């Protein structure tokens, strides 16, 4: 997940910075980021955990020169109760995905859940 997020954010940052000014001596300001993933899988997991880009590095010695942290929050029933109580949209989406995964593959389940949430004006 951190590597996927790195590719995504690099593309977004490229859109924000004028190519000519990238080579100037002026510091280019970019938005600060937080990377969050919602876990709705079937394996038993903790409430929250963190993945690091550096976990994918081969032959890393010492501190990595580039790091990206991704926080994962478990949104399965009974986890992160405060978040789920405060965010009805997330709660309904997670419930729909869980129901669809009982009858189809994850990709199709997510797509169906998103489409249904849009139709029902949840998203």
**26-83: per-residue pLDDT in tens?**
888 889 999 999 998 888 999 999 999 999 999 999 999 999 999 999 999 899 999 9
- pLDDT for 81 equals 94
- Determine the average pLDDT of the residues in 1-22: 88
pLDDT bracket for residue 25 (50, 70, 90) = confident
Length of the chain: 123
Where does residue 48 rank: exposed (0-12), middle (13-18), buried (19+ CB within 10 A)?
A: middle
Domain ranges within the chain, ordered by starting residue? 2-77, 87-123
The distance from CA 83 to its chain's CA centroid, rounded to whole angstroms, is 16
- pLDDT for 122 equals 85
Task: Kindly report, residue by residue over 94-111, the tens digit of the pLDDT.
Answer: 999 989 988 999 889 999
């Amino acid at each position: 997940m951190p590597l996927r997020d790195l590719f995504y954010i690099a593309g977004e940052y490229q859109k924000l910075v004028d190519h000519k000014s990238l080579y100037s001596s002026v510091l280019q300001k970019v938005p600060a980021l937080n990377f969050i993933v919602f876990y709705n899988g079937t394996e038993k997991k903790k409430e929250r955990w963190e993945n690091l880009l550096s976990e994918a590095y081969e032959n890393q010695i010492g501190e990595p020169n580039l790091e990206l942290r991704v926080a994962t929050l478990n949104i399965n029933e009974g986890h992160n109760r405060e978040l789920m109580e405060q965010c009805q949209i997330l709660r309904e989406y997670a419930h729909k995905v869980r129901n669809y995964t009982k009858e189809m593959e994850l990709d199709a389940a997510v797509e169906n859940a998103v489409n249904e949430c849009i139709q029902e004006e949840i998203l």
